[in-house]
Amino acid sequence: MNFFSLRCFIELAKELNFTRAAANMYITQQNLSLHIKKLEDCYGVKLFDRKPQVRLTFAGTQLLEAARQMLKIDEQLKARLSYMTENNYGTLRIGISPARVQGFLPLIVPLFNKVHPNVTLTLVEAHTAQLEELLQKGELDIVIASRCREPRFDNPLFSYLDLMQEHLFFLVSEELLKKYYPAADGKKLMRSGAHMRELMDIPLILSPARTRIHAAVEQLFIKEDRKPNQLIVSNRGSSMLSLCRQGYCAALVLEMILVSSSAERPSLLKDLLVIPLLDETLLNALALVCRKDEVHPKYMLTFMDLTAKIFQNNFRAPKA
């Protein structure tokens, strides 16, 4: 059963003549008869008496009213869906790590909402591995996540839009740096950067072991046959910076989080040395990821374009 069969039925019920009804529907009488038979088979009833003349059966009169209602509902639904399509109604499901939400969301929402006020943004906060799994299952539309350094490790189902090559920064008080490295020039290190091996003695706040950055830092310690002087484990390094300022430990903070946190609280980095780490393995490629095998609606393409511009304009750490 389809809506065209219902239209044929309504036309025949109006004309009570197969020749005229078929002509009105621009089909043959045989074709019209087939549509009527489909309906009769579908509902298991006889809809018309053919002799001595064509007339509706009792079952036919019941279907006639229902058919008119169904076609009316179909027209209303088409109009509603057409309006929604023209005005870009929809829901966009976005995945991002918890540490990045605070810096990204306040920037993207007003810009996106201005262009697509009828689209609802649904946010899922998790780490990269979990987000990619949800994307592969079709439970997310877009993920902002760390990308493998080598493209050969990319998921072939995904499309990647690179957002930034993110540096890792070593945040430490002058007092703590001098305690472990008396000859170090903190201001010079802020300008020129340092390798992790030059700062390994200092006690650290580290991110949880499940993150890519923690694993990369750990590998550098293994390479030097060292064990991290790990004071605290936290996935929100910015919230622990007060301990850094008091000289208890140092923190490792990614560029995007550093910039967004300091923009929100300008005093956050007061009295701290912000030293860029030069180790290539600590560079973090951040990308916007979506599935290749799906058609992307206009509002999703807008979100991707706005995201790229936001990263280009807002998350670069100033030079010392």
Domains of the chain: 3-86 (1.10.10.10), 90-165+285-314 (3.40.190.10), 168-282 (3.40.190.10)
Q: What is the C-alpha to C-alpha distance for residues 150 and 161, in angstroms, rounded to an integer? A: 14
Helix 98-115 × helix 298-314 angle, to 10°: 120
Q: What is the C-alpha to C-alpha distance for residues 240 and 289, in angstroms, rounded to an integer? A: 30
Global pTM value: 0.68
- Provide the residue-wise pLDDT of the chain in tens; the chain has 320 residues: 578 899 999 999 999 999 999 999 889 999 999 999 999 999 999 999 988 899 999 999 999 999 999 988 888 787 677 666 777 788 899 999 887 888 899 999 999 999 999 889 999 998 888 899 999 988 999 999 888 766 667 888 999 999 998 899 999 999 999 999 999 999 999 999 999 999 999 998 877 666 777 788 889 999 999 988 877 766 555 556 778 888 888 988 888 888 887 777 777 778 899 999 999 988 888 999 999 888 788 889 999 999 999 999 888 766 65
Torsions phi, psi for 291 (to 5 deg): -85, 145
Q: What is the C-alpha to C-alpha distance for residues 285 and 255, in angstroms, rounded to an integer? A: 11
